[in-house]
């Protein structure tokens, strides 16, 4: 099955609203003819400005997190309805930094994924192993468990629209990158799990991104792999030229 590539920039805790607007202003003409789906996941404070600027362009906007409750006494959290009201289309769920620093669990990732789908947001669900887990040889088992937990209670029809991002934690912000073969191997494992849960058709429809320090230099090789359908881009998404190069590689 031919799957359209999806390149998503995860800006993390970077860019003031003014800086975000400037970067988007540079990106809009640069990626206007992209064959891939283009997404920018920006800080909450930049969402209003960026969604306004990208209206009627081919750039979709994502948030970096959301709560799994409708509303209520959850200080510091953001609801799905708040995101939708701004025109947000995607939401990153379960990024390794959320798991490591803010107590995200497989259970909360599943709750958020279900709620995002209920609300009509497209979840970008993250999974991946630490350096210790890779060295112990348990990468595949760990990732399989994360994927099974994330998709619990999700029908095949809805599962087909979920984006999965494989992010080896040891390759995020370290300058280390999995080889194209290593990255593709784990993405194939992810697709295999989805196939076990839902069948070949759903597995063939789900798009799986690589999220471990993809950059302008290695994007073409990574995106040429059979089971890598895009990238969840960190540092390289903060520079218009670098992000554009990755989009064009897709």
- Which residues are catalytic, by number? 95, 167
Token readout for 109 is: 């990732």
> What does the buried/exposed string (b/e) look like for 7-35 if buried means 16 or more CB atoms within 10 Å of the residue's CB?
bbbbbbebbeeeebeebbeebbebbeebe
Rounded CA gap, 83 and 138, in Å?
Answer: 36
**Roughly how many angstroms between the first and final C-alpha of the chain, as a whole number?**
16
98 touches 65 (CB < 8 A): yes
CA-nearest of 157, 174, 154, 163 to 215 is: 174
**62: which residues sit within 8 A by CB, 6+ positions away?**
8, 39, 40, 41, 42, 88, 89, 90, 91, 92, 122, 124
């Amino acid at each position: 099955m031919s799957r359209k590539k999806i390149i998503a920039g995860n800006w993390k805790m970077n860019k003031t609203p003014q800086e975000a607007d400037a970067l988007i202003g540079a990106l809009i003409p640069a990626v206007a003819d992209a064959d891939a789906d283009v997404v920018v996941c920006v800080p909450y404070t930049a969402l209003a400005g960026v969604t306004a600027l990208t209206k009627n362009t081919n750039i979709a906007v994502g948030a970096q997190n959301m709560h799994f409750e409708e509303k209520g006494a959850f200080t510091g959290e953001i609801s799905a309805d708040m995101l939708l009201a701004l025109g947000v289309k995607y939401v990153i769920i379960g990024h390794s930094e959320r798991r490591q620093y803010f107590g995200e669990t497989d259970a909360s990732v599943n709750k958020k994924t279900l709620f995002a789908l209920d609300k009509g947001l497209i979840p970008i669900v993250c999974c991946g192993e630490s350096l210790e887990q890779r060295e112990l040889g348990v990468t595949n088992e760990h990732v399989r468990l994360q994927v099974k937990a994330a998709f619990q209670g999700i029908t095949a029809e809805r599962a087909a629209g979920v984006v999965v991002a494989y992010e080896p934690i040891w390759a995020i912000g370290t300058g280390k990158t999995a080889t194209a073969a290593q990255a593709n191997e784990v993405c194939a494992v992810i697709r295999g799990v989805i196939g076990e849960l839902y069948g070949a058709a759903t597995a063939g429809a789900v798009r799986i991104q690589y999220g471990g320090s993809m950059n302008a230099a290695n994007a073409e090789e990574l995106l040429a792999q059979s089971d890598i359908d895009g990238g969840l881009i960190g540092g390289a998404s903060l520079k218009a030229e670098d992000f554009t190069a990755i989009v064009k590689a897709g």
